[in-house]
Amino acid sequence: MLLKNKVVMISGIGPGLGIKLATIAAQEGARGLVLAARTAAKLDEARIEIEARVPDCRILCVPTDICDSAQCQRLVQSALETFGRVDALINSAYYHGNFEPIEKADLDVWRKTVETNLIGTMQLTQAVIPAMKEQGGGAMVMINTQATRKPVVLDIGGESGYAASKGALGTAVKYLAKELGGYGIRVNSAHMGWMWGAPVQGYVRHTAAEKGIPEEQIIGGIARSIALGKIPTDDDCARAALFLISDYAAAVTGATLDVNGGDYIPA
């Protein structure tokens, strides 16, 4: 199994990618999951779903706002008290902000986006580093976005604030990889494109209803730009991120993995 006996911490547990990361990590042999989200109800739902599929995996749920440094420290301490170590951290928590042009952007919303996606993520990362150093290594993956590499402006507007915050996060990953490599700690980015899950399904429904056209027409328009000819599923995208925390990626750090079905292919 890809993650046999590993303890995996995942932030941002919710109805999209977060729950897929957790469920598949359990299916891939993780002996312990440390799940974090702002809302306790989301964590309870995740626990029930995972336990139904993988009853042998131990699960620790800790309501956590990553924008609060003390809560990040509490999360890591709880994990260490329960499992004794943290083998991997997947930073999946995020705040999207508005779809809008930069010219008219609400920069107070940008501040909240940066506070969550960059500062909050770094707070949780800082909290887990001492434990990984002490145990002799670990792996981190930052869930990033294709929007930093291929700007897209939809009918509902662009996502420049979100992309800018994630672009800064991508730069931080490169520095972390250099700083932590000597301790056996790997740090990588997984840049997600379109993912067929709750958020994209909601966008498709909304856009189709607003334009008065079938949902299949919206889906087809998106899929035409993707080399594989279809929108990747949340499950497939989660598996790509989980590969980066596995031992199969032992030689990979400071890397950017594009997870988009070939929608964006770098030169």
The counts of H helices and E strands in the chain are: 9, 9
pLDDT value of position 156: 67
pLDDT-derived band at 267, boundaries 50, 70, 90: confident
Q: With 90 as the cut, is the pLDDT of residue 87 above it?
A: yes
Please tell me what DSSP assigns to residue 232.
P
Lowest mean pLDDT segment, chosen from 116-120, 153-157, 234-238: 153-157
| Domain regions of the chain by residue span | 7-195+232-259
What letters, b where the CB count within 10 A reaches 16 and e where it falls short, cover 185-196? Answer: bbbbbbbbbbbb
Q: With 90 as the cut, is the pLDDT of residue 153 above it?
A: no
Q: What are phi and psi of 42, to 5 degrees?
A: -65, -40
Average pLDDT over residues 97-121: 96
Q: Could you give the residue numbers annotated as active site?
A: 162
What percent of the chain stands above pLDDT 90? 90
For 187, half-sphere exposure in the C-beta direction (CA atoms, 13 angstrom radius) is 25
pLDDT value of position 1: 84
pLDDT value of position 248: 97
Tens-digit pLDDT profile for residues 220-240: 999 999 999 999 999 999 999
Q: What is the CATH number of domain 7-195+232-259?
A: 3.40.50.720
